[in-house]
Structure 1
Amino acid sequence: MNSNFKEEKQIVRDFYARLDSARGAGIPAVLEAFTSPDYLWRGFHPFNEITSARDVAESFWTPLRGALTSMQRRMDVFMAGQNTIAEQGGVWVVSMGHLMGLFDQSWLGISPTGKIAMLRYCEFHRVENGKITETAMYFDIPHIMVQAGLQPFQTQTAAHLVQPGPMTHDGLMFEQQNPAAGLKTLAVIEAMIRDLGQWDSGLGLEDELRRTWRENMIWWGPEGIGATYTIERYAKQHSGPFRATLSNRSKTSHIARLAEGNFGGFFGWPNFTATPSGGFMGMPATDTPGEFRVIDIYRRDGDKLAENWIFIDLLHFWNMQGVDILGRATGIHAVRETGAKGVRYD
């Protein structure tokens, strides 16, 4: 089994170099040059699934690059690994950080500020035979809404900041890593998933968390929930309220799960479903199950997890409950079915 992923990493690095320097009409050509004919792109609401590289360029990248001028890609984590989800397989390359630019033009109905704006993102790229065949591109639209002066959510239980990268500053793994370290990271993540998948281990929440998390863990959550620090505060400010206000939670399911060095992560489409029983994010109860599309990136310290960066498609979840968060905040209502045409507006 390939253990260095040098070729796959270089393909994604070359893709980023070309994409980040392309302008206007050149952006679709870059997407088409680096992706396969059957390319599948998964993005947060209102983009969803797109099955054409040109449509990805025209509906997502070109408008975003036009809105955030002089864009920089500021990566905090870069890694690759063999997918451990057997039925999916493949080598995936992961990038996480911020896309920073000057917010000079409207995007998704969000008015520009003329100031620096930072869009949190995480991408999983499946690379096969020299091409990118699948991408999961998850990004925190509500956070950029807040930077533009909007308030998409009524309340959040923790704090949201422009989130830093790893405390250890060692997340950019361009070179080969020790395979044993990656296996150790993956084992801790798998143990955490087994605990989480039960939703109630019978140990008590904080004791359950201590099995796989360091006491001074940091959970970097999305806008609308926020970030929280230490097991005690994480249980109080997110995990406890989350479990108390969401019922009928399904088991978790992932498309890709991997680790390299001291870092690892996964994504699902969706990861799980749950029904709001009232109180989650200050919203009322519904009888409608909603999907949680999630990326989790972890840093291991010793034999436990120390940091966790989380991307949740909250716009999609609440849209399934009949609440158009984006449209409510901007006054522009997105058409739900985007398909291969990308995003359109009424």
Structure 2
Amino acid sequence: MRLQESVQKVENVKDFQEEKALVQRFHAALDAASPDFGAGGVSESLAAHCAPELTWRGFHPFGEITGPKAVAERFWVPLKRALTSMQRREDIFFAGLNQMDGFQGIWVVSMGHLMGLFDAPWLGIRPTGKLAMLRYCSFHKVEGEQITETAMYFDIPHLMAQAGQGIFPSQTAQHLVQPGPRTHDGLLYEAQPQATGEETLALINRMISDLGQWQSGLPLEEELALTWAPDMLWWGPEGIGATYTIERYAKQHSGPFRAAFSDRSKTTHIARLAEGHYGGFFGWPNFTARPTGGFMGQPPSDRPGEFRVIDIYRREGDKLAENWIFIDLLHFWKMQGRDFLAEATGEAHAD
């Protein structure tokens, strides 16, 4: 099957430059804003670029928040006060039409790190006075001249590890401050050929179809090789880690993960899109599963848990070469009865 055949053809697709420009203006205003509620503050920056009924989804302990003011109060103001002189270090930026609504909605994706000096407590995490980097990935739905929905996913456990408050006992792979693409071409500020994005999205769809339900019947490494390059890089979250090559990915994540879980639900996404050689998706949640084999050093459980996930991919030729993963492990474990954030900080949170 040709790659393009699994993607619906969309005629007269626009180039997303207006939507990209809006998100870039939003980022510039947000990054420059002071951590307060007056003129030039975070709340003003959000209100100027986001719809009054903005739906914002964030990892535990934030959950779903409605409206720019509430997002500013609960997330951005405390974060900017904690990570002083904060700057955005963006590695991937692209936009596209959302396959999940019949290629009607336009979403703009940004991924990288929010870097600052960890000078004040955040979520009960003790400050260090030193450099800290919060991995993030955001999906923004743009309608007209406003952002109407945002998925803002971030790796809080990795920030905690940088602060000397690591919460997970072991990892099957290795977590580092994660770099951007090997090819250094992830910032798609300019328009990209439509056909290139279609090929990327088609390959992502093949991967989801072939691998997503764990039912191919092939040995794991052969199954992975259908859509992944032999020297693939899988950049996983704190608690799991990153791994390199199909052989080590199978040994250090995919194999242990499949052995850990049963009763995986069908995969669902809110947005799935691609542009150029980059693409990705997110769900709320993406799927549920039961950790009946034990996971991340924790004992087995028959209780189902939700996986809220963002996946970002780089395609090289006809294979996926790199994958950046954001998983809300704090939320998953809270559903299992372990509130790792509260245990580490002494502060209870609800999402």
Q: TM-score, normalised by structure 1?
A: 0.96
| CA offsets 1:95-136 (integer angstroms, 9 cap, x no match) | 000000000000000000000000000000000011000000
SS of structure 2 residue aligned to 1:159: coil
Match of 1:305 in 2: 320
CA distance in 2, matches of 1:88, 1:225: 33
CA-CA distance at 1:87 after TM superposition: 5.8
Q: Is residue 286 of structure 1 aligned with residue 301 of structure 2?
A: yes
CA distance in 2, matches of 1:238, 1:142: 18
Pairing partner for 2:176 from 139, 157, 161: 161
Larger CA deviation: 171-180 vs 325-334:
325-334
Q: Is residue 244 of structure 1 aligned with residue 259 of structure 2?
A: yes
Match of 2:23 in 1: 12
Pairing partner for 2:234 from 214, 219, 233: 219
Q: Percent identity?
A: 68
Q: Is residue 321 of structure 1 aligned with residue 336 of structure 2?
A: yes
Match of 2:221 in 1: 206
Alpha carbons 1:219, 1:307 under 8 Å: kept:
yes
Match of 1:60 in 2: 75
CA-CA distance at 1:331 after TM superposition: 1.9
Alpha carbons 1:219, 1:227 under 8 Å: kept:
yes
Alpha carbons 2:267, 2:286 under 8 Å: kept:
yes
Alpha carbons 1:295, 1:312 under 8 Å: kept:
yes
Alpha carbons 1:88, 1:256 under 8 Å: kept:
no
SS of structure 1 residue aligned to 2:117: strand
Alpha carbons 1:247, 1:275 under 8 Å: kept:
yes
The amino acid across from 2:125 in the alignment is I
| CA offsets 1:312-337 (integer angstroms, 9 cap, x no match) | 00000000001001011112222x2x
The amino acid across from 1:181 in the alignment is T
| CA offsets 1:124-162 (integer angstroms, 9 cap, x no match) | 000001100000000000000000001211111000000
Alpha carbons 2:88, 2:114 under 8 Å: kept:
yes
| CA offsets 1:287-320 (integer angstroms, 9 cap, x no match) | 2100000000000011100000000000000000
The amino acid across from 1:272 in the alignment is F
Pairing partner for 1:172 from 181, 184, 187: 187
Unaligned runs of 5+ in 1: 339-346
CA distance in 1, matches of 2:106, 2:345: 39
Match of 1:344 in 2: none
Pairing partner for 1:111 from 118, 126, 145: 126
Alpha carbons 2:311, 2:323 under 8 Å: kept:
yes
CA distance in 2, matches of 1:27, 1:245: 42
CA distance in 2, matches of 1:56, 1:252: 28
Alpha carbons 2:231, 2:245 under 8 Å: kept:
yes
Match of 2:14 in 1: 3
CA distance in 1, matches of 2:333, 2:76: 24
Q: TM-score, normalised by structure 2?
A: 0.94
| CA offsets 1:211-246 (integer angstroms, 9 cap, x no match) | 000000000000000000000000000000000011
Match of 1:271 in 2: 286
CA distance in 1, matches of 2:286, 2:294: 21
Unaligned runs of 5+ in 2: 1-11
Q: Is residue 151 of structure 1 aligned with residue 166 of structure 2?
A: yes
Match of 2:150 in 1: 135
CA distance in 1, matches of 2:169, 2:42: 37
CA-CA distance at 1:36 after TM superposition: 1.0
CA-CA distance at 1:89 after TM superposition: 3.8
CA-CA distance at 1:86 after TM superposition: 2.3
SS of structure 2 residue aligned to 1:198: coil
CA distance in 1, matches of 2:85, 2:13: 37
Change (3 A) 1:88 1:48: farther
CA distance in 1, matches of 2:143, 2:129: 40
| CA offsets 1:238-267 (integer angstroms, 9 cap, x no match) | 000000011110111000000000000000
Q: Is residue 262 of structure 1 aligned with residue 277 of structure 2?
A: yes
CA-CA distance at 1:196 after TM superposition: 2.0
SS of structure 1 residue aligned to 2:177: coil
Match of 2:59 in 1: 44
The amino acid across from 2:97 in the alignment is Q
The amino acid across from 1:183 in the alignment is E
Change (3 A) 1:59 1:2: same
Q: Is residue 190 of structure 1 aligned with residue 190 of structure 2?
A: no
Pairing partner for 1:22 from 18, 28, 33: 33
The amino acid across from 1:93 in the alignment is V
CA-CA distance at 1:29 after TM superposition: 1.1
CA-CA distance at 1:79 after TM superposition: 0.2
CA distance in 1, matches of 2:104, 2:60: 26
CA-CA distance at 1:198 after TM superposition: 2.5
Match of 1:99 in 2: 114
CA distance in 2, matches of 1:211, 1:233: 16
CA distance in 2, matches of 1:151, 1:64: 19
Pairing partner for 1:70 from 69, 85, 95: 85
The amino acid across from 1:12 in the alignment is V
Alpha carbons 2:288, 2:304 under 8 Å: kept:
yes
Alpha carbons 2:54, 2:68 under 8 Å: kept:
yes
